[in-house]
A and B are shown apart, each in its own frame.
Chain A
Amino acid sequence: MMLELSAVHAHYGHIHALHGVDLAVQVGEVVTLIGANGAGKSTLMMSLFGQPRASMGRIIFDGEDITALPAHEISRRGIALVPEGRRIFPRMTVMENLQMGAALADPTNFDVDLKRMCALFPILDERQGQRAGTLSGGEQQMLAIARALMSRPKLLLLDEPSLGLAPLYIKKIFQTIRTLNRDHGMTVLLVEQNAHHALRVAHRGYVLQHGRIVLSGSGRELLASPEVRAAYLEGGAGKGD
């Protein structure tokens, strides 16, 4: 088991955002977490890093309880986050962004990893010396993913990577996730609103609603499930529950 959340609760001030979430990610899996706006998807992702810290329950990563660890210690255990809204360093160059991603990695791997990223995202190779803030949204998302991968993580967390991107880039991003998983054996936890794409790329999925997991199953099962179809795939035509 790579990551296991059991009965995790989290609060933002007085708002009870997560109500006992159970979730597991196996080694080599792509797991997706879908849900509407405000369901608690990003809260769950951030509570893995202790922001906000889980008020109850346990988070086990790679056999170690990380519930109480500070954020930087958690990422040092081998979890890399591609945050929502990309959050690249806009005034730094593409190259410097990648180097920030590798800040805690073994420096002898840097050149090898850089070549790998350039092969995976040829556009970043072309733009190495360019300020990251001048890249397009899709390119920034690729940079954010590449930056996260530079630390050679065991688990890659992606928070809404398709948010605000052109359809062509959305396709590319999901293609990349598939490639990373299939060819590089990367374990991925993917938070998405774009349920259709996410479920197609994922081995398993969870549906989060009002801070609770209401459904789980294989990607294919969830895609076929009438509840998911009604709530997330057909423009919310159904009742949602």
Chain B
Amino acid sequence: MVVLAHQAPSVAQRCKDAGAVAAIALLLGIPMLGLTTVDQGGSLLVATRWPTLAIFVALCFAGRLLARYAIDALQARARRRPAATLLRPGARHQLSLWLGWGCFGVALALPFVFSDNRYIVDTATTVLIYVMLGWGLNVVVGLAGLLDLGYVAFYAVGAYAYAVLSTQFGWGFWQALPVAGGLAASFGLLLGWPTLRLRGDYLAIVTLGFGEIVRIILVNWTALSGGPNGIASIPRPSFFGLPFKPGDDSATFAGFFGLDFSPLHRLIFLYYLILALAMLTNLFVSRLRRLPIGRAWEAMREDEIACKAMGMNVTNVKLSAFAIGAMLGGLAGVFFAARQGFISPESFTFNESAIILAIVVLGGMGSQLGVVLASLVLVLLPELGRDFAEYRMLLFGTAMILIMIWRPGGILSQRQPTLRHRAEAGAAP
């Protein structure tokens, strides 16, 4: 047993460590805090604020000292805990199963509990859109290991497909859904085909470019997409043919069920719609993972050459991952367009791709439940942070850094084997 590494650092070491942090704080603080500009009689003068800087550096020193103590204490406690009390993989699987069902239960009950709170239902819908996008991208990035920085392109294709089909050809939501999904899948193939030979960083750059190409086409192809003005008054989905409109006749949702009209009906319907779409996605992806194609994706993520040697057609494996991931993104896009009623290229910037990718990575590559937890964090944090105004993104960044420090593999990094240990095979010698 290595004892040296476990020894607590001496006071001098701690001071040195905190001193280093304070020095960095000083360097950063001189331009940011130490110097400031003041407007004096129309001209800008540089003033100094040394006392503020001194307080800042002292705070950093003390903060680092305390943080270090806290981390060491936590780590020491974790080491003292006997291994037997740590969760076995089986128990961990059980726990995540319960957690998953718990989340689903909460999601089902949410509109009942907050049936009069428009804001909460709306935010929950947004979370679910990201959950669905995360599950879709998880196929490409988490399972197949293909780094895709342009995932938002498929989201955009789905959204615009529905917008154009509904406003110009009068298609309904349910008619447009499969068509838009298919269109997004073919865009997935379009991206997958030229990038078959690329990996890692190179693939990431091309996918990044692809996302931008789609966005720029949408901005410039005014005849189809309305350019930067976007497409407005996209029809909302109806409840099996019953529109959400005020009116007492039986041709509207409220009238048919004898309810008083409320704009919340549609919101709650949209919420359940995306919940259903997301759960279907989840079911679909977790079934796929257990099928040969899913295992092939994972094997390809692990080692492409070994896959080829095993007789796997890596081309098909890659293209199927791109197409299925893209299709799921496209379906989410259709929902997005139907919910917003208005879309423009501004909703499909690289920032969006980055957030979806962050959800997959922070959740733990390949973990379905991790995506849910990460979406909650990444969507709710900026929402909760609205009170902090301009410090919102600071909060967001801090949360991401903390996750990466404590859970470097993502919130749920434990991969579940798709095959359980087989007793009958194990029993035979």
List residues of chain A with CB under 8 Å of any chain B CB. Answer: 49, 51, 70-72, 75-76, 80-81, 83, 87-93, 95-96, 99-101, 103-104, 111, 114-115, 118-119, 122, 125, 128-129, 147-148, 151
Contacts and interface: CB of A to CB of B under 8 A. Distances in A.
6 contacts: A72-B313, A92-B302, A100-B299, A103-B312, A118-B426, A129-B420
Contacts of B426: 118, 125, 128
B192 to A, nearest CB: 17
B292 interface: yes
Contact of A103 (B310, B415, B424, B425): B310
Given A92-B417, A93-B419, A99-B419, A119 B429 contact: yes
A90 B266 CA distance: 48
B306 A88 contact: yes
A122 B429 CA distance: 8
A89 B309 contact: no
A91 B302 contact: yes
B229 interface: no
Interface residues of B, number: 29
B311 A89 contact: no
Nearest to A110: B425
B312 A72 contact: yes
Contacts, number: 97
A64 to B, nearest CB: 15
A185 to B, nearest CB: 21
Contacts of A104: 310-312
B428 A115 contact: yes
A13 B38 CA distance: 64
Contacts of B298: 89, 91-92, 96
Contact of A72 (B311, B419, B421): B311
B117 interface: no
A72 B308 contact: yes
Given A95-B421, A118-B428, 7 more contacts: A71-B309, A75-B311, A89-B302, A89-B303, A96-B295, A128-B421, A147-B310
Nearest to B420: A129
A72 B418 CA distance: 24
B77 interface: no
Contacts of A70: 313
Contacts of B277: none
Interface string B291-309: 0100110110011011111
B422 interface: yes
A103 B309 contact: no
Nearest to B300: A89
B314 interface: yes
A72 to B, nearest CB: 5
A103 B308 contact: no
Contacts of B415: 91
Contacts of A129: 417, 420-421
A90 B302 CA distance: 7
Contact of A96 (B418, B424, B429): B418
B419 A83 contact: no
B292 A96 contact: no
Interface in B382-429: 415, 417-422, 424-426, 428-429
3 smallest beta-carbon distances between A and B, as pairs:
A75-B311, A89-B302, A81-B309
A147 B307 CA distance: 11
Nearest to B313: A72
Contacts of B309: 49, 71, 75, 80-81, 83, 87, 148
B295 A71 contact: no
A111 B425 CA distance: 7
Nearest to A116: B428
A103 B422 CA distance: 18
A1 B310 CA distance: 23
A80 B418 CA distance: 24
Contact of A101 (B310, B418, B419, B422): B310
Nearest to B415: A91
Interface string B348-368: 000000000000000000000
Contacts of B303: 87-89
A89 B292 CA distance: 15
Contacts of B417: 92-93, 95-96, 129
A102 B421 CA distance: 17
Interface string B112-133: 0000000000000000000000
A137 to B, nearest CB: 16
Nearest to A97: B299
Contacts of A122: 429
A128 B424 CA distance: 12
A158 to B, nearest CB: 12
A114 B427 CA distance: 12
